[in-house]
């Protein structure tokens, strides 16, 4: 059952039980029944699944939107965290970082136009916008990382481990990859609660 939960085997994969001649689905040999009560004693309360967009689709959309989608998706991810943990503050940090992104957007678009020959000069945003954007982004990523670790090793004990290096380099894409893995495990264990 542990290998099924890890995603190595699907519930519909066939196997033979000891002393059996016919092949049966793993879910028949090792039934995992959903809890009769949403959260009986000793069973963690079921939470809404995290956002489930494949990470590579998020990457492609982010590239084609010049990073705009990454900003929105960071807010979506941290907004989900706020829904499952009312004490979460990551969404507020990501919103502040998004405001800085919007303030830098005119010069970014001007520079894109320059690269395509539509503008003659390069426009640099003010240094305080650049520095504050980077600082807010890093703080937001690590606050969300800590909140995710606390949640998925506490109320929803999935046993999540998050690398600080991958968090630093890839942030929301790394979190999305982890969310996809978590959702696979939750569906395998039949404890999935799709977000409304």
Q: What is the pLDDT of residues 43-89, one digit of tens each?
A: 456 788 999 999 999 999 999 998 899 999 999 999 999 999 999 99
Decide if 182 is inside a domain: yes
Decide if 161 is inside a domain: yes
Decide if 36 is inside a domain: no
Decide if 94 is inside a domain: yes
- The C-alpha R_g of the chain, in whole angstroms, comes to 22
CA 14, 54, 3, 30 dihedral sign is negative
The pTM is what? Answer: 0.72
Decide if 20 is inside a domain: no
In the predicted structure, residue 6 carries a pLDDT above the cut 60: no
Decide if 23 is inside a domain: no
Query: What residue spans of the chain are helical by DSSP H?
Result: 2-5, 26-29, 55-64, 68-84, 90-115, 127-152, 164-170, 172-188
Q: What are phi and psi of 109, to 5 degrees?
A: -65, -40
Domain, as residue range, for 142: 51-188
């Amino acid at each position: 059952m542990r290998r099924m939960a890890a995603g190595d085997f699907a519930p519909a994969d066939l196997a033979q039980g000891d002393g059996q001649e016919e092949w049966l689905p793993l879910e028949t040999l090792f039934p995992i029944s959903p809890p009769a009560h949403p959260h009986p004693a000793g069973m963690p309360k079921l939470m809404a699944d995290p956002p489930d967009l494949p990470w590579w689709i998020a990457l492609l959309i982010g590239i084609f939107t010049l990073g705009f989608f990454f900003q929105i998706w960071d807010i979506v991810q941290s907004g989900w965290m706020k829904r499952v943990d009312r004490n979460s503050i990551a969404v507020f940090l990501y919103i502040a970082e998004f405001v800085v992104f919007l303030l830098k957007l005119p010069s970014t678009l001007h520079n894109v136009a320059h690269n395509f020959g539509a503008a003659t000069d390069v426009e640099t945003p003010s240094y305080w916008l650049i520095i504050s954007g980077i600082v807010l982004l890093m703080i937001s990523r690590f606050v969300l990382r800590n909140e995710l670790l606390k949640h998925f090793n506490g109320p929803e004990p999935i046993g999540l481990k998050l690398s600080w290096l991958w968090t630093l380099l890839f942030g929301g894409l790394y979190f999305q990859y982890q969310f996809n893995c978590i959702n696979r495990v939750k569906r395998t264990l039949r404890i999935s609660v799709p977000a409304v």
